[in-house]
Chain A
Amino acid sequence: MSRLNEANIKTALEIIARYPRPKSALIPLLHLAQEQNGYVTNEAMVHLGELVGVTSAEVYGTATFYEMFRFEPVGKYLVNICGTMSCALMGAGDLMHHAEQKLGVKAGGTTADGMFTLAHAECQAACTEAPTLQVNYRFRYKVTNGDFDTLIDDLKNGKLADEIPAHGVVARIRQRIPADRGVGAVAPELVTENPAWMDGKAAL
């Protein structure tokens, strides 16, 4: 089943309702689909198109622009090694070389057991802690070859299961807007006046 399941449809509708136009929810929903299946399936894209009211081609058009979306299965753990300047200056090239040896795949490849996909990544906003990597978007800083080996062994032995969810899950905590607290999204053409507090007087 690679359309969204019941629980995710509920979440999807909640997310869509937050935007003045449904299509705005597309990227969060693509993440939801990837979270459910580990990658973005064609059926899921068709389903998302139905949910936000655009064609599946439009969904595909958006999805393929963004690097995090995968359209084929990837390893349970996606290991992204940063290769941009600060990391490159601090030995990212050697780290990548070591990683390829350790995992037995080239950058871009997936190990035969489906556990690891190794990838070259761009600046991860952690440049002072170079060289850096992310496993399913969880950081490791100032990574030595030894650290890398330990990381891979720990992942294999399930020691990091609490910290690092399987590929597809990014944030594990979602925003929830309580019905009685939210203002609610309104299509822009339905808004006909300035906000109430723009009356020249203090709000409190």
Chain B
Amino acid sequence: MTTAIKYPHAAGFVAGDRPKIVTSRFEHADSYTIERFLATGGYAGLRKALGRAATDVHEEVKSATVLGRGGAGFPAGTKWGLTPQQVFPKYLVVNGDESEPGTYKDRLLMERDPHQLIEGCLIACYAAGLSQCFLYIRGEMALAQERVATALNEAYAAGYVGKNILGSKFSVDIVLHWGAGAYVVGEETALIESLEGNRGMPRLKPPFFPAANGLYGQPTIVNNVETLANLPWLMVNGSEAYTAIGTKTSPGTRMVAVSGHVKNPGVFEIINGTTTFRDLLYGAEFCGGIRNDNELKAFVPGGGSAPWFTADQLDLPFEASQVGPAGSMLGSGAIMVMDSTTDIPAAALTLTHFYAHESCGKCTPCREGGTWLERILTRIVEGTGTEADLQQILEVGAMICPGDFPHASNEKLGLAAVPFPYKMTTICFVGPSAFAPLHSAITLFRSEFEARLVKRISIPVTAVSTPPTVWA
């Protein structure tokens, strides 16, 4: 029996007897200091990388198939290879804007092990020939900003960052940048706009992806914090050791936050590809079951944008190739659990409100549609909605995402799954995300919406003129 230890200094993090690639230092209260970092193998991965040709390091990362942990799951090594060879400078932008509902991991990685992230950034810059790195931290994360600032100051002083790193010909600056509160800025092209000092509105892609045309119109790699935090371990242990963990298509580990109605909510570093949702929700080393031993009603498998699952999907593993066809996505490793007592329309409203509120306003279906969805749903939740409102929600949704919207299968309802992804009329995923939770909720729990509707019953009556006193 494994013992789950909660480290009080790493709020929410639960360790276990599993391989630790990115959380190996979390057990130490002083894990964020350079002393602890160096005493536990810190910057050894950088030294190893610099001892090899850049192209060689790039190949190593490619063969490890480090899947992006920011949401889309695109392999980092492949992404780095998409930059044009003869265009420079190229930039690295680190996405530390973590704000997808349910997601809690990048903040821990920045607060608890900032040097590991810095080392990861350096390895990426070295391997992909990136001349400057901008580390963009969400504005509201005061402690993460302080810890990363301190770590950078230490690393500069000790010669790990800046000019001639470790005395080599490798020189790169890492600039700490911080946001000011806007969810959509987590989208990579909006992140770049924001870093250029503009309103954080996504750019239309295609034709240009950041790898070809990003920051200041230059080739730019945008990578998530967790993605980069994997690189030091990978450099020290090699891609074979990395791919020995997890499955062929989803190697290594990944950080997952499970919140909501479970006995022991927490953040876990799990084995990728094989760990199932059942393990996570019910396993003794993870969440230990639903609170008060209630029944599971539904769960969000991959952040607020993801279509919902129910108990029927519990045995799916953390494997994109299985979760996609089942009608949802793994996204940013965020699971939100609802037990049998949950008011489903109200729960969906918290998410629809979120995405409507966070719309940047660039595309009409998202700007208008999101707001409509929120208003109509609010009416239903408050008990003043009608059957026509329910219909209208689906019509507005179809304007954001035409065609069949992905959803899970459900045995009781006799539903077959509609696979992920969806079609969309918007530039980014914020618009569809306002509809996703609502669509899942209506598809899987329609009766709960219907029970809330105002019934208009027509009774045949004869017109009667009202006495004037009523108006007095």
Residues in A lying within 8 Å of B, measured CB to CB: 18-21, 23-28, 30-31, 52, 54, 61-62, 65-69, 80, 83-86, 88-90, 122-130, 134, 136-139, 141, 170-178, 180-186, 188, 191, 193-198, 200-204
In the complex, are the beta carbons of B169 and A196 less than 8 A apart? yes
Offer 13 A-B interface pairs, CB within 8 angstroms, sorted by A: A18-B173, A24-B195, A61-B198, A66-B180, A89-B261, A89-B338, A123-B103, A125-B141, A139-B143, A173-B149, A181-B161, A181-B162, A196-B169
Cα–Cα distance between A162 and B86 once the two chains are bound (Å): 51
Distance (whole angstroms) from the CB of B84 to the closest CB of chain A: 11
A-B pairs, top 5 by smallest CB distance, nearest first, are: A66-B180, A67-B181, A26-B197, A23-B197, A171-B145
In the complex, are the beta carbons of B149 and A183 less than 8 A apart? no
In the complex, are the beta carbons of B180 and A27 less than 8 A apart? yes
> Is the CB of B199 closer than 8 A to any CB of chain A?
yes
Cα–Cα distance between A186 and B216 once the two chains are bound (Å): 12
Given that A27-B194, A62-B197 are known contacts, is A128 also in contact with B163, CB under 8 Å in the complex?
no
> Is the CB of B429 closer than 8 A to any CB of chain A?
no
In the complex, are the beta carbons of B173 and A170 less than 8 A apart? no
In the complex, are the beta carbons of B146 and A172 less than 8 A apart? yes
> Is the CB of B159 closer than 8 A to any CB of chain A?
yes
Total A-B Cβ pairs within 8 A: 257
In the complex, are the beta carbons of A126 and B12 less than 8 A apart? yes
> Is the CB of B229 closer than 8 A to any CB of chain A?
no
Contact string, B153-172, partner A, CB cutoff 8 A, digits 1/0?
A: 10011010111011111111
Give the residue among A19, A86, A122 with the most B Cβ atoms within 10 A.
Answer: A86
Distance (whole angstroms) from the CB of B279 to the closest CB of chain A: 17
In the complex, are the beta carbons of B131 and A191 less than 8 A apart? yes
Cα–Cα distance between A130 and B334 once the two chains are bound (Å): 14
In the complex, are the beta carbons of A24 and B197 less than 8 A apart? yes
In the complex, are the beta carbons of B101 and A85 less than 8 A apart? yes
> Is the CB of B304 closer than 8 A to any CB of chain A?
yes
Q: Which residues of B contact A188 (CB under 8 A)?
A: 89, 216-218
Distance (whole angstroms) from the CB of A40 to the closest CB of chain B: 10
Specify the chain A residue showing the minimal Cβ separation from B55: A200
Cα–Cα distance between A69 and B420 once the two chains are bound (Å): 37
